[in-house]
Amino acid sequence: MVFLLTGHETRTPGGLPIEPGTSWYLKSDYFKNRPSNWFYSYTSPDEIMLGSDLKQNLYCHLLCGLVQRDEVVRISSTFASGMVRVIKVLEDSWKELCLNIRSGYLSEWITDSGCRNAVSMVLGGQPRPNLSDEIESICSQKSWKGIMKKLWPQTKYIEAIVTGSMVQYIPMLEHYCSDLPVVSTIYASSESIFGINTYPLCKPENISYTLMPNISYFEFIPMEGDNGDVLDLADVKLGSSYKLLVTNLWGLYRMRIGDMVKVTGFYNKAPQFRFLGRENALLSIDTDRTNEEYLFKAINRAKLVLESSDLRLVDFTSYADISSSDPGHYVIYWEVNVKNEDMKNLQFYKKTFLECCSVMEDSFDNEYRFEKQKAIGI
């Protein structure tokens, strides 16, 4: 069961199309004529992957996957954030999904003609009351810990990118997918595939990728010092961090990707890299510079306070607000779940949120604390 989706196509001022690499792949002749084997055998018809409405697509993906629940051996999404979004749709829609399975017919609000026709073929107008009862019994349980394995009992692993900014979703995946390994197989972007994870069953926090020099030409700019050096793959040093340059082989475009990587070891003589984050991904008000790594550290420390109060962090985002106050301030939004269904009024947790803010502020670097004049607000 693979949650593949196409993104919206936009165009440059000159009229050239722009879309995610995944979208191009799904529309390509290669995908249409892909090999017939287990890896390319999906529970969802192609029409669902090519649909234009995200909510409808995810719903239809889930419906097809549930109808074929005993045949699913892997559950895959490009990014961990996508997998969490799938689980959110499942939480919100499982009762309606059960009704569709029980009746054999799709809900009327699915209006995308491609999705509708494809899913109708899967359902076939055949009522499946026993299957609906099984799924309803699982989803009605008070705890959804390990729900993915319960719904798809033959599943062997979860596949998603969980490095970089996706690290924040690991606790959620571990909760809903407990007992299933979370596998991050490749390091890639729209420009090229860069490398593979040669130890796919390692823990998410230990993932490193072996870059493949036969796919693209890789160069590295040392992050320490600014003397203009550009190193080849063979010249990188263990423990050092670099900014990645990539020249792809089908256009000879030399691109500064914006990724920061660290050499963690070697596979034979090939360097292995841990993805650190994106260059210039930071919050800044004045002379302070809070990058992705420091923000994650602050979030993780505050998350310990949150979890001690029966709350769970689902997602977060942030920005530097320099227009509504003087001086400016960091704004950090949290999406939280309450573990105890009887305590859903978040006003009960105001003291906890204030403590989380204090812990986060104490976790930022000295420059931030030196520049700070007012407290972060909730």
- Residue 43's nearest CA partner among 60, 22, 29 is 60
| pLDDT score for 378 | 42
Residue for token pair 């779940």: 337
| pLDDT score for 235 | 95
Residues with Cβ within 8 Å of residue 264, at least 6 apart in sequence: 208, 238, 272, 273, 274
Q: Are 220 and 243 in contact (CB under 8 A)?
A: yes
**267 three-state secondary structure:** strand
pLDDT above 70: residue 372: no
DSSP 9: P
φ/ψ (deg, to 5) at 338? -100, 125
Beta bridge partners of 336: 313
| pLDDT score for 329 | 81
| pLDDT score for 377 | 44
Spatial separation of the C-alpha atoms in residues 332 and 58, rounded to whole Å: 28
pLDDT above 80: residue 200: yes
Q: Are 281 and 292 in contact (CB under 8 A)?
A: yes
Q: Is the peptide bond between 327 and the residue preceding it cis, with omega within 30 degrees of 0? A: yes
Q: Per-residue pLDDT tens for 323-345? A: 677 567 889 999 988 876 666 66
Q: What is the mean pLDDT of residues 173-182?
A: 91
pTM above 0.85? Answer: no
pLDDT above 50: residue 376: no
Tokens at residue 270, please?
């090939």
The helix (H) or strand (E) run that includes residue 131 is: helix 129-139
Which of the following CATH numbers is that of domain 282-371: 3.30.300, 3.10.450, 1.10.3470, 1.10.10? 3.30.300
State the pairing for strand pair 74-79/157-161. Answer: parallel
pLDDT above 90: residue 58: yes
Where residue 351 falls among pLDDT bands split at 50, 70, 90?
confident
| pLDDT score for 240 | 94
- Residue 146's nearest CA partner among 179, 168, 123 is 179
Residues with Cβ within 8 Å of residue 88, at least 6 apart in sequence: none
Spatial separation of the C-alpha atoms in residues 266 and 351, rounded to whole Å: 47
Q: Per-residue pLDDT tens for 150-160? A: 999 999 999 99
Q: Are 218 and 233 in contact (CB under 8 A)?
A: yes
pLDDT above 70 as % of the chain = 92
CA distances from 78 to 224, 245, 291 (A): 32, 23, 24
The helix (H) or strand (E) run that includes residue 111 is: none
CA distances from 198 to 188, 218, 263, 270, 275 (A): 15, 19, 15, 11, 15
Using N-to-C axis directions, what is the helix angle for 350-363 and 292-307, rounded to 10°?
A: 150
Length of the chain as a residue count: 378
Burial (0-12, 13-18, 19+ Cβ within 10 Å), 290: buried
The helix (H) or strand (E) run that includes residue 332 is: strand 329-338
Higher pLDDT, 276 or 95: 95
Q: Are 19 and 10 in contact (CB under 8 A)?
A: yes
CB neighbourhood size of 262 (10 A): 17
Q: Are 161 and 128 in contact (CB under 8 A)?
A: no
DSSP 192: -
pLDDT above 50: residue 23: yes
Higher pLDDT, 258 or 230: 230
Higher pLDDT, 373 or 33: 33
Per-domain boundaries in the chain: 2-182, 206-278, 282-371
Beta bridge partners of 274: 262
pLDDT above 70: residue 281: no
| pLDDT score for 327 | 67
